[in-house]
Chain A
Amino acid sequence: MNVLVYLVPMALALGLTGLAAFLWSLRSGQYEDMDGAALRVLSDDDVQR
């Protein structure tokens, strides 16, 4: 059971990273325009910017 000593913190850390990433994406406005995001990926004229 010694394996838990590092497995449990790792699982929690991974989960928290996911949560933090989600909150960051929410704050940076990535959910403001769900339909637009699906279409923007098709246009490639923003490459050089």
Chain B
Amino acid sequence: MTGSLDLSIYVKRHGGQSRMELAVEGVGCAGCIRKIEGGLKKIPGIVDARLNFTNRRLAVEWRDGELDAGDVIDALERIGYHAHPFEPQRAETDEALHARHLMKCLAVAGFAAMNIMLLSVSVWSGGATDMTQETRDFFHWLSALIALPAVGYAGQPFFRSALRAIRARALNMDVPISLGVLLAVGMSIVETAGHAEHAYFDSAVMLLFFLLCGRYLDHAMRRKTRAVAGNLAALKAEVAHRFEGGGEVVTVPVAALIPGDRLLVRPGERVPADGTVISGTSEIDESLVTGETVHRKLTAGATIYAGSVNYSGALTMRVTAAGPGTLLDEVERLLDKAVAGRSRYRRLADRAARLYAPMVHATAALTLTGWLLAGASLHDAVITAIAVLIITCPCALALAIPAVQVVASGALFRTGVILNAGDAIERLAEVDTVVFDKTGTLTLPEPRVANIGVYDPDLLEMAARLAQSSRHPLAAAVAREARERVPYLDAIEEPGQGVRALIDGIEARLGSFAFCGNTCSVALPPETSLIAFRHGDRGAIFAVRQSLRADAVDVAKSLAALGIDVRILSGDRPAAVEPIAAALGIAQWQGGLTPAQKIAAIDALKAAGRRVLMVGDGLNDAPALAAAQVSLSPIVAAHITQAQADAVFLGERLAPVRDALVIARRARRLMQQNLWLAVIYNAIAVPVAIAGHVTPLIAAAAMSGSSVLVTLNALRARGPGGVGPS
């Protein structure tokens, strides 16, 4: 199938060589590296293959003309790995550059801190022995020689951020940090020139080193989650069948589609792009788009949306951009409004900085005037005031929150929640109301057989194995019940009717009622589809419908136990929502909502002072996700929707939603604890500084001590062995 796939948009050509990046599935051990790289390098034409085990990506280079991208993927398939071409996002490349810069700053600060400490320890111990003043000055000047370029280089991330904040007439944590570092270095130079006993070069550089460690870890965690999200997007491997000029059909990646392309959508496939039907009639399942579980009948001229599943007949469609009056257009309009109307969340760290920075600067000013009034010399008063600024330089405060964030996003990652937004943890922690979409969120995105228990397991297994030979979505639902993934070899699919095969010498059929000779007289809810099975004189009728996620009831109960108000806002018919709400014990539910009504419902909750977490997957949920305080969506969600969500969760279970709330709350508690630890540190250190007793040794010990303390406390965000298996 991949042989006809046109992947040229992913291939980069350079100097007679082609290069492509792929996301690889199923890489889990050291052997995989050797198998993949060794296997590919044996193929003539391939110049280099390098697997990055950390982000599960493979870079392949080959000589032009000897191979094409499809051959590489086929070769990987033969080796036993499923791979998909991958286009690195711009944001990801920028972040990689930023990470490298942070790492360089960290290296420079580390080098400087170690060498200056070497000199400082000599000076400190020299005070007790017989170090001459000349030697001490020499050591101080040497420290200055190392510290000045090091601070100038390694301090850049902080100075830039502080400058940006000041230009925007705001204060962030980097303002007092930059001020403290610069003053410490400046004062030390003046003091050294005056042959004084104390210089603070060591404190300044060590502070930068600690802070850069925190920054780098924070950044690395975010890059890791982004890489995983990027891989998942690539592994969805969305392709479309496009009619070329001559009428032949070529398989292309969805990313290569442009408005005006004519596409073929076969039964059982997802509609790859928005557009209008040119010819063909079919029924489509639009549950990912509108939440509606009843299939819609289509004829030529109808509008269809990406993400719908084509059920019965082949369709020819034309890709269109969102025109006025379509659902997509309305969703985008609502989305813009919701994004514009959302008040910017003020992070805990920024709020702390707004309180902290003026207080620190006021304390320093008071110290200066206090000492002057008490009759100290101007020099001594200034030195003491600067010592106050140095000792209060918010090392612990600046680490207090990022450290927790790093550990908490690692814990979230292990439970299967991938964060999109940096401040999502803090916003999640405040949530008191969770609003679920029904279709695809509370229920599984793929339909399941609802009446398995009624039939003999052997009969079910037979039907499930037979169903593997069919492309029909209903058959796919039956096939998911198979214990063995072995289809019958001689199975024949009759288009539009079903599949048949000889099992134990008797013909078995799976498909429409007429095809199998079954009858059914039971009245069924409209969202249930039926598929019949016959094997000799034994028959079965499977009811296929969207079923609840296995742990939905547990999660709804435990959310309620956490004191959270759980609600359902669905685009599906009220009659379809009611049984689900009853099963979950959710009293507050609404069905049949348009995207605008969903926003209105969320806004009403927000107006009542609620902090709302919206969990949804459909195109129709996207504006509501943007309007809520914080939002989650399953990994199978529609593109626009996933882009709006603050975090994405993986897998078939709903538990990640609850785990995310539990982890976020714990993380927030630890952030607050850390802030208090920093406050206590200051309450002890500041009086000492005001009294003028802070020597460089005390400053160095106090600052590293407090940083280590908050970092250790942050590690507790991992929780007691995690919240549960992912």
Residues on A with C-beta less than 8 A from B52 are 32-33, 36
Cβ B111 vs Cβ A16 within 8 A? yes
Give the contacts of A1-49 with B (CB-CB under 8 A). 1, 4, 8, 11-12, 15-16, 18-19, 22-23, 26, 31-36, 39-40, 42-43, 45
Cβ A26 vs Cβ B107 within 8 A? yes
Stretch with Cβ within 8 A of A (4 or more), from B30-38, B253-261, B284-292, B524-532: B30-38
Residues on B with C-beta less than 8 A from A43 are 30-31, 33-34
Cβ B114 vs Cβ A1 within 8 A? no
Could you say which of A4, A8, A33 contacts B54, with CB atoms under 8 Å apart?
A33
Pick from B30, B138, B146 the residue with the most CB of A within 10 Å. B30
Residues on B with C-beta less than 8 A from A35 are 53-54
Cβ A36 vs Cβ B54 within 8 A? yes
Residues on A with C-beta less than 8 A from B132 are 1
A8-B142, A11-B115, A32-B54 known; A23 and B107 CB under 8 Å? yes
Judged by DSSP, the binding face of B is helix
Cβ of A41 to closest chain B Cβ, rounded Å = 9
Q: State the CA gap A45–B636 with chains docked (Å).
A: 40
Cβ B107 vs Cβ A22 within 8 A? yes
Which interface class (under 10, 10 to 19, 20 to 34, 35 or more) fits B?
20 to 34
Q: State the CA gap A1–B135 with chains docked (Å).
A: 8
Cβ A42 vs Cβ B30 within 8 A? yes
Cβ A12 vs Cβ B104 within 8 A? no
Interface check B118, CB cutoff 8 A: yes
Cβ B33 vs Cβ A19 within 8 A? no
Residues on B with C-beta less than 8 A from A40 are 30, 33
Cβ of A44 to closest chain B Cβ, rounded Å = 10
Q: State the CA gap A4–B54 with chains docked (Å).
A: 46
Cβ A19 vs Cβ B103 within 8 A? no
Cβ B111 vs Cβ A45 within 8 A? no
Name the residue on B nearest A41 (C-beta): B30
Cβ B53 vs Cβ A26 within 8 A? no
Interface check B647, CB cutoff 8 A: no
11 pairs, CB–CB < 8 Å, chain A vs chain B: A1-B132, A4-B135, A12-B115, A22-B107, A23-B104, A26-B104, A32-B52, A33-B55, A34-B54, A35-B53, A39-B30
The interface of chain A, by Cβ under 8 A from chain B, is 1, 4, 8, 11-12, 15-16, 18-19, 22-23, 26, 31-36, 39-40, 42-43, 45
Closest 6 CB pairs of A and B: A36-B53, A39-B30, A19-B111, A33-B52, A35-B54, A35-B53
Instruction: Contacts A33-B53, A36-B51, A39-B33 known; list 15 others, CB within 8 Å.
Output: A11-B115, A16-B111, A18-B111, A19-B108, A19-B111, A22-B107, A23-B107, A26-B103, A35-B54, A36-B33, A39-B29, A39-B30, A39-B53, A40-B33, A43-B31
